[in-house]
Structure 1
Amino acid sequence: MTNLNEQITQLLQQELVIALGCTEPVAIAWAASVARSHVHGEMTHMDVTISSNVMKNAMAVGIPGMKQTGIDFVAALGAIAGDPNRKLEVLTGVPAEAESKAEAFIAANKVQIKLTDSPKKLYIELCVHSATEQAKVIIEDVHTNITRIEVGDDLIFAKACEYYHEQEDQESDLYSQLSLERIYQYIQDISLDDLELVKESITLNRAICMEGLKESYGLQVGKILKENVTKGLLSDDVITHAMALTSAGSDARMAGVMMPVMSNSGSGNQGIAVTMPVVAVAEKIKASEEKMIRAVAFSHLLAIWIKSKFGRLSALCGVTVAGASAAAAITYLLGGDVNQMSFAMQNAIGNVTGMLCDGAKAGCAMKVSTCTGAAVQSALLATSGMRVPGTNGIIGEGLDESIDNFCRLGNEGSLKMDELILDMMLNKRKEDNE
């Protein structure tokens, strides 16, 4: 029987995953590449069936190394040139000529897309056809969780429900033992040798952020913030530095730069947003490398813990989770105690809750910037002993109540909001195409 610290380390290893590109379209590409690997001969057409949350996050976001975007395009690209063995790095090494092949495939109306009837928020079903064969791949709940592969009438892989539920029960038992205090204890006790993946998250996510500051990607949120510091319109303080550095990574990633990130709980933007605000503050206050690594591990784990209640996809922006998690980690860097870390998380929840997820796109960098600024501000208030009181809105008297209320909004309030958001996005596309 592993002890709790070992289980938490395993949880980090499970939820920190390297991803190239936005995780929803990349998961579609991976499903397509796996299905294609089971079909011989020339591919004739494809059927893509996805949940509304996957659809809104895959419609407009940049695809790594490509000019084209879209669900049909990324599905075709994954089938034509993706590496099925690389999971969320499926598009690594895709040759430039694959783009024109995918464009020709969709121009011939060979990719059909529809919404699933499944109640799952993360559901991807890819069926690839040739003249004589067909293969179907289903991904559910987690971006890398293939639950079913069918080739023709033969079922060649199915994840047994008993095993899956046993795994869920084990994870549920672990999550029930987690709390702010327990995670804080873990990051104090754990050897740095067990945090290699956290160190890699700093290296990868810092690299894409620096790229976003250097080149002109998307809305250039991070780059323009930095330029305005140079002009003297903004000060080079800790909040501006954190906002510029972190949002630059989202600028580059949403534009489809060919650089991997370390995702957190299935989200690359969340991976950036739990990592880089903490790194930025550590740089500004000249914290030791060890303290920075422990603080980033703290931020990662808090986000994983909240996401276990919040869900991987929601009508609310997942970077709000990252903001609350980073706020506690920044408070740790600033020398705050556990009580003040709790204050910081509640301040962030009281600030940015309600930010909608209207799909993955260039504008996500602005949301990353906003939540980063809120994280630093929340930590500064908390270290001065201030927090949003329990009489205010969804904030409770304790952190657990505040998190539960926040997650209720994301879960119970998501269905109708998701319908409205997707309807607006699809209607806008119809108008653009008319």
Structure 2
Amino acid sequence: MGFNKYVNLLKRELTPALGCTEPIAVAYASAKAREILGSIPERVEVLVSGNILKNGMGVGIPKTKMTGLDIAAALGLIGGNAEAKLEVLKDIEDKHIEEAVNYLKENRLKVKLKDVKNKLYIEIVCFDGQNESKVIIKDKHTNIVHISLNEDLIYEKKDDEVKECNNCNEQEEKKEEVSLTIDCIYDFSQKVKFEDIKFLLEGAKMNRRVAQEGIEKDYGLRVGKVFYESIGKGIFADSIESYAIAITSAAVDARMDGCIFPVMTTAGSGNQGLTCTLPVVAVAEKLESSEENFARALAISNLITIHIKSYLGRLSALCGCGVAAAIGSSCAITYLLGGDKKAINHSVKNMIAGLSGMICDGAKQGCALKISTSVSSAIQSAVLAINDIEVSCKDGIIHDCVEQTIKNLGNLGIEGMVDTDRVILNMMVCK
């Protein structure tokens, strides 16, 4: 396989987003539906899957100090920029927020749960007089599969097929299939030209900025800020681990509370982007790693996160940030600490043995606590790995083969926790 496929995969799966990707995807869909309608609709129906509802209930919407899919959808309608995709709310001003709040007060927008098999599903239907526009997103946060106006089908996508209607200029590039394994990811990270992956440093810089915002200001539960201020006070040691926990959780604090700065996402999630990037940033800073080694470590972290998420899916009952992204960062940290391919395999197994049961109960302020736990485990697993320690195949879901171990994790998340996901959603809705 040529290295270009890996580079292109990284460029596709790492994208900037302003706000939590589930409500922002709803805002993107509503902005697109309004664009197709050509006016602010008289009323709107927002139909979403359970996992979208779960991840949109408790997370802050940028610039608003508000939470929920309803305000996200209303802002998309009133002032969203559909061309900006996951940065759809970047141009939102106070006047748009006021109009969106009034729109909701007038009871013109309804959010409803739709019984669909897709974990990621968003359907926006806008009504204005005799006109009706519809936009549907499935499986990925910007993957529009249907656009229609009244009886006219403008765009439709089924699986890998793209159908164009009525001179629609929507185009979908055919994606290269990329088969990943831990070993081939490591080989790529060591052999690829530094210049080809140097762009990863910009994403790390973007995410580090959000971490600094979380340290300097009071966001959410202030997990990262409090941890950071506790370093060296006899509570937390002035160590790589403490520093990594502090800056990563500070960034999550800020993002979950509606920070106005964008983050670089990985595999459809901003928290995944933060978790597979910032612990690596912390270790690279403390070790004074070269830019090249840092970029190679980021390639490992991001690609392994993408690899694991390909088994877990975009949304799941398992915490993608705390599990998949933390495994990626642990492998990158193993590399920065001098570990080789064998050690990275050890790190994957150690992380899955320790964190495989961490559930996802929605995007919210408490995510900073889960991620602080995951970052700690990431560093511990890396330290064990470079000392040639790995969890035995006699333990639980761990297999001799690291790839089968990852598949086992995926089966646990997709098949084994179907009822768990349903029970979690019921608990959240009943509150």
Q: TM class by shorter-chain length?
A: over 0.9
Contact 2:65–2:257 (Cα < 8 Å) also in 1: no
> TM (normalized to structure 1)?
0.94
Contact 2:399–2:405 (Cα < 8 Å) also in 1: yes
> TM (normalized to structure 2)?
0.95
Report the CA distance between 1:168 and its aligned residue. Answer: 12
Q: Which of 292, 298, 301 is the equivalent residue of 2:300?
A: 298
CA distance in structure 1 between the aligned counterparts of 2:271 and 2:73, rounded to whole angstroms: 21
| Correspondence 1:55 to 2:59 | no
Q: What letter is aligned with 2:3?
A: N
Contact 1:16–1:197 (Cα < 8 Å) also in 2: no
Contact 1:217–1:252 (Cα < 8 Å) also in 2: yes
Q: Deviations over 1:213-237 (max 9, x none)?
A: 1111001111111111143321111
Q: How is 1:124-139 mapped onto 2 (pairs within 5 angstroms)? A: 124-139=122-137
Contact 1:126–1:137 (Cα < 8 Å) also in 2: yes
CA RMSD of aligned residues (A): 1.7
What is aligned with 2:260? 258
Where 1:354 maps in the other structure, the secondary structure is coil
Report the CA distance between 1:414 and its aligned residue. Answer: 3.3
What is aligned with 1:174? 178
CA distance in structure 1 between the aligned counterparts of 2:418 and 2:47, rounded to whole angstroms: 18
Where 2:122 maps in the other structure, the secondary structure is strand
What is aligned with 1:281? 283
Unpaired runs of 5+ residues, structure 2, are: 164-171
What is aligned with 2:421? 418
What is aligned with 1:191? 193
Q: How is 1:64-143 mapped onto 2 (pairs within 5 angstroms)? A: 64-143=62-141
Q: Where in structure 1 do 4 or more consecutive aligned residues deviate above 3 Å?
A: 167-171
CA distance in structure 2 between the aligned counterparts of 1:187 and 1:61, rounded to whole angstroms: 35
Kindly tell me the number of residue pairs found equivalent between the two proteins: 422
Report the CA distance between 1:310 and its aligned residue. Answer: 1.4
| Correspondence 1:354 to 2:352 | no
- Percent identical pairs in the alignment equals 43
Q: What letter is aligned with 2:210?
A: I
Contact 2:30–2:73 (Cα < 8 Å) also in 1: yes
Q: Residues 170 and 86 of structure 1: is their aligned pair in 2 closer, same or farther, counting only changes over 3 Å?
A: closer
Q: Residues 162 and 386 of structure 1: is their aligned pair in 2 closer, same or farther, counting only changes over 3 Å?
A: closer
Q: How is 1:34-53 mapped onto 2 (pairs within 5 angstroms)? A: 34-53=32-51
What is aligned with 2:237? 235
Q: Deviations over 1:81-115 (max 9, x none)?
A: 10011000000020112112111111121111222
Report the CA distance between 1:58 and its aligned residue. Answer: 0.6
What is aligned with 2:169? none
Q: What letter is aligned with 1:293?
A: A
What is aligned with 1:431? none
Contact 1:41–1:131 (Cα < 8 Å) also in 2: no
Contact 1:298–1:329 (Cα < 8 Å) also in 2: yes
Q: Deviations over 1:306-358 (max 9, x none)?
A: 11111110011001101111111111101111111111111111111111100
Q: Residues 42 and 265 of structure 1: is their aligned pair in 2 closer, same or farther, counting only changes over 3 Å?
A: closer
Q: Deviations over 1:367-414 (max 9, x none)?
A: 111111110000001111111111111111221121111111111023
What is aligned with 1:333? 336
Q: Deviations over 1:48-92 (max 9, x none)?
A: 111101110011100011122111111111101100110000000
Report the CA distance between 1:159 and its aligned residue. Answer: 1.7
What is aligned with 1:398? 401
Structure having the higher helix fraction is: 1
Report the CA distance between 1:160 and its aligned residue. Answer: 4.5
CA distance in structure 1 between the aligned counterparts of 2:63 and 2:106, rounded to whole angstroms: 23
